[in-house]
Amino acid sequence: MVEPGYPAPGGKSERQRPLSFATEPMPAVAGAEPDPAPWKLLIVDDEEEVHSLTRLVLRNYEFEGRPLQLLSAYSGVSARRVLAENPDIALILLDVVMEQEDSGLRLVHHIRGTLQNSNVRIILRTGQPGQAPEMEVVARYDINDYKAKTELTSQKLFTTVTSALRAWRDIQTIERSRRGLERVIEASGSLFEWQSRTQFATAVLRDLVGLVADGTAGVSGLVARREGRGYQVVGGVGRYEGFVGRAVNDVVPDNTALMVARASRRGDGLFFNHSYVSCLAADNGDELLFLVQGMGRLGGPDGSLINLFMSNVATAYQNVNLSLEIIETQKEIIQTLGEVVETRSQETANHVLRVGKMVRLLALRAGLPEDQAAILHLAAPMHDVGKVGIPDAILHKPGKLTAAEYEVMQTHATIGHDILAKSERPLMKAAAIVAGQHHERWDGAGYPAGLRGDEIHIFGRITALVDVFDAMASRRCYRDAMDLGEVLQVIRAGRGTHFDPDLVDVFLAHLTEFVSVIRAHPDAVPAGAQVAEEG
């Protein structure tokens, strides 16, 4: 390769000059949008006169309200550098013969092959057509037009540039729509995963901002839920980050608040002033409001993609609310059934409430994912459901049980497991594990199956520790609450025998949080009530 700035054998004489990368933004006409992004056009030619004449002809050029930004390169080597620094170049006016006879054709091969840039429009213009015959070049190379320099009068250059920019614009629109559709499909897939309402809302906001931003900086957005007659922010990005809990009308400009109110009344999406607002309402009355600001001008395919995405969101939102209604109903049933069991065994109803809260806390502190901790929170109150199958004479016996009676009492773990294991629902399956394993011991001396160590499901190990802690630290009908020091002595003594040693370490490291749960939900045990001790 001949170094730039020196003549190439058999080629034109190259003027000795340093590489030049000049930029010249063309002025915009009155009435155009402020600071519109210019179209980038690269002139690649080793003759300074070609650059000067091209700039002169196109000095007032404008297409669709956007001016030109002219970039210059005087060799194939320098053109590669300009292309690397400006991947959004729309059009290249390319000379064929520069430092080498085929420098321009080599550059075409680099653009289409190495850079994999099939979008930029390339117009070859040569002063020596015989060295690069038009038919051969067009057949072998992916160029978009071939012109002799003598052909490009001012009017023809204007027409050629306009046609090329229009083609590049259409290609970019198709490509942007393709990428947008891919993002819609990708984002829509996660909409139907199990999530809380807040998780769902913030995930949609994140995907919506990603869809409209497409690399644009300065895009902001918020999502809010209906609270009474207004909306309260539950998530935000950009300028709205940190406004969770605030009323929407307190954080958006007055003109935006008017559009929010309009979207709320209409129940659909609106585009206005580089912004988008949409209101979604579920059948149960729950409402979400999405606002995104700082976008480019939207319409056509871009607007259609957003509408398509929000249409999928609306469907998913109905499904999320329906799923959450079912889950919340299950939760209420489980909570109520747990309280019924505790009432029948004359223990305190708040025991199941505390156990639910503490198992979730321990699960999270032990590193379980949020969704698993949430399931355990709902399932743990069912740990003693099997007591419904224990005879009253044993369940309500005052004082210590005989060996035979204690053997019957132990069956409540198996009974509870068998009742709950009939369901295929993940929540009920988790409850079956808890009911069946919360009396297993780390050393294998527990019941009903004598499981040892990691053979015991993590749900069973967590519930076992929390259940014993709450039972000792809370008042019972047959005794007062044990002193915290005594409780901790028992817990520490059971580390590695009764309880998972790692869980004990986590529990003790966060002891104050568990004590706070007990103090926040104390019991009021009726005087004179009695219950059999399980030993």
Q: What is the pLDDT of residues 268-292, one digit of tens each?
A: 678 887 788 888 887 777 888 888 8
Q: Quick one: 232 exposed, middle or buried, by C-beta within 10 A (0-12, 13-18, 19+)?
A: middle
The reported pLDDT for the residue numbered 34 is 42
Summarize the confidence of residues 36-49 as an average pLDDT: 90
Residue 70 lies in a domain: yes
Q: Are residues 349 and 339 in contact, defined by beta-carbon separation less than 8 angstroms?
A: yes
Residue 15 lies in a domain: no
387 included as an active-site residue: yes
Residue 433 lies in a domain: yes
Which is more confident, 345 or 411?
A: 411
- Alpha-carbon distances of 55 from 40, 441, 450, rounded to whole Å: 13, 85, 88
| % the chain with pLDDT above 70 | 76
Residue 187 lies in a domain: no
Residue ending a domain, among 321, 353, 374, is 321
C-alpha 406/C-alpha 436 separation (Å) is: 16
Summarize the confidence of residues 434-458 as an average pLDDT: 96
Residue 2: is its pLDDT beyond 50?
no
Residue 44 lies in a domain: yes
Minimum mean pLDDT range among 55-64, 245-254, 303-312 = 303-312
Summarize the confidence of residues 15-32 as an average pLDDT: 33
- Indicate whether 166 and 210 sit together in one domain: no
Residue 419 lies in a domain: yes
Summarize the confidence of residues 171-178 as an average pLDDT: 70
- Indicate whether 310 and 378 sit together in one domain: no
pLDDT tier, 83 (very low <50, low <70, confident <90, very high otherwise): very high
pLDDT tier, 29 (very low <50, low <70, confident <90, very high otherwise): very low
Q: Coil, strand or helix: which one is 23?
A: strand
pLDDT tier, 146 (very low <50, low <70, confident <90, very high otherwise): confident
- Indicate whether 381 and 492 sit together in one domain: yes
Q: Are residues 184 and 305 in contact, defined by beta-carbon separation less than 8 angstroms?
A: yes
- Indicate whether 37 and 163 sit together in one domain: yes
Residue 33 lies in a domain: yes
The reported pLDDT for the residue numbered 127 is 66
CB atoms within 10 A of CB 140: 11
| % the chain with pLDDT above 90 | 30
The mean pLDDT of the chain is 79
- Indicate whether 157 and 209 sit together in one domain: no
Angle at 45 between CA 39 and CA 50, to 5 degrees: 80
Residue-wise pLDDT for 468-506, tens only, equals 999 898 766 556 778 899 999 999 999 999 999 999 999
- Indicate whether 349 and 266 sit together in one domain: no
- Indicate whether 459 and 398 sit together in one domain: yes
Residue 533: is its pLDDT beyond 60?
no
- Indicate whether 368 and 512 sit together in one domain: yes
CATH code where residue 225 lies: 3.30.450.40
Which is more confident, 248 or 208?
A: 248
| Residues 55-90: b if buried by 16+ CB within 10 A, e if exposed | bebbeebbbeebbbbbbbbbbbbbbbebbeeeeebb
Which is more confident, 252 or 40?
A: 40
pTM over 0.85: no
Q: Coil, strand or helix: which one is 236?
A: strand
Q: How many domains does the chain have?
A: 3
The reported pLDDT for the residue numbered 531 is 36
Residue-wise pLDDT for 299-318, tens only, equals 444 667 777 777 777 777 77
Residue ending a domain, among 269, 286, 321, is 321
Residue ending a domain, among 112, 143, 173, is 173
Active-site option among 40, 331, 357, 387: 387
CATH code where residue 414 lies: 1.10.3210.10
C-alpha 417/C-alpha 451 separation (Å) is: 15
Residue 535: is its pLDDT beyond 50?
no
The reported pLDDT for the residue numbered 225 is 87
- Indicate whether 152 and 196 sit together in one domain: no
The reported pLDDT for the residue numbered 465 is 97
The tokens describing 348, both together, are 């305190």
- Indicate whether 106 and 221 sit together in one domain: no
- Indicate whether 361 and 458 sit together in one domain: yes
Summarize the confidence of residues 64-87 as an average pLDDT: 92
Of these ranges, 33-47, 226-240, 467-481, the one predicted with the greatest mean pLDDT is 226-240
Of 99, 97, 147, the residue nearest 122 (C-alpha): 147
CATH code where residue 48 lies: 3.40.50.2300
User: Which residues span the domain enclosing 316?
Assistant: 192-321
Minimum mean pLDDT range among 358-362, 375-379, 420-424 = 420-424
The reported pLDDT for the residue numbered 136 is 60
Residue 11 lies in a domain: no
Alpha helices in 192-229 (DSSP H): 197-213
Residue-wise pLDDT for 112-145, tens only, equals 888 989 889 998 887 665 555 555 666 667 787 7
- Indicate whether 78 and 204 sit together in one domain: no
Residue 431: is its pLDDT beyond 60?
yes
The reported pLDDT for the residue numbered 359 is 96
Residue 447: is its pLDDT beyond 80?
yes
Residue 20: is its pLDDT beyond 50?
no
